[in-house]
Structure 1
Amino acid sequence: MTRNTTLMAMGALAAAAVLNMMATGTAMAQQVRNCGPRELVVNRLADRYGETRQSMGLGANNAVLEVFASDESGTWTVTVTSPEGMTCLIASGQAFEELVEALPAKGNDA
Structure 2
Amino acid sequence: MSNQGFKLVKSRPDLARIKVIGAALVLVAMFSIPAAAEAGSPLCASRPEILKQLSTRFKEAPVALGLAKNGSVVEVLTSDDGETWTIMVSQPNGPSCLVAAGEGWEELKRVGAKGERGA
Regarding TM over 0.5, the answer is yes
Structure 1 segments unaligned to the other structure (5+ residues): 1-23, 106-110
Q: 2:82–2:106: 8 Å Cα contact kept in structure 1?
A: no
Structure number with the higher helix fraction is 1
TM-score, normalised via structure 1 length: 0.63
* Deviation at residue 43 of structure 1 after TM alignment: 0.8
The counterpart of 1:84, out of the listed 75, 88, 93, is 93
Hey, what does 1:97 align to over in structure 2? 106
The counterpart of 2:77, out of the listed 65, 68, 81, is 68
Q: Does 1:58 align with 2:64?
A: no
Q: 1:78–1:90: 8 Å Cα contact kept in structure 2?
A: yes
TM-score, normalised via structure 2 length: 0.58
Task: With a CA cutoff of 8 Å and minimum separation of 6, indicate the structure with the bigger relative contact order.
Answer: 2
* Deviation at residue 78 of structure 1 after TM alignment: 0.3
* Deviation at residue 74 of structure 1 after TM alignment: 1.2
> SS in structure 2 opposite 1:61?
coil
Alignment size in residue pairs = 78
> SS in structure 2 opposite 1:62?
coil
Structure 2 segments unaligned to the other structure (5+ residues): 1-36, 115-119
Name the larger-Rg structure.
1
CA distance in 2, matches of 1:52, 1:102: 27
Q: What amino acid sits opposite 1:55 in the alignment?
A: A
Q: 1:38–1:87: 8 Å Cα contact kept in structure 2?
A: yes
RMSD: 2.2
Structure number with the higher strand fraction is 2
Q: 1:63–1:81: 8 Å Cα contact kept in structure 2?
A: yes
Q: 1:38–1:85: 8 Å Cα contact kept in structure 2?
A: no
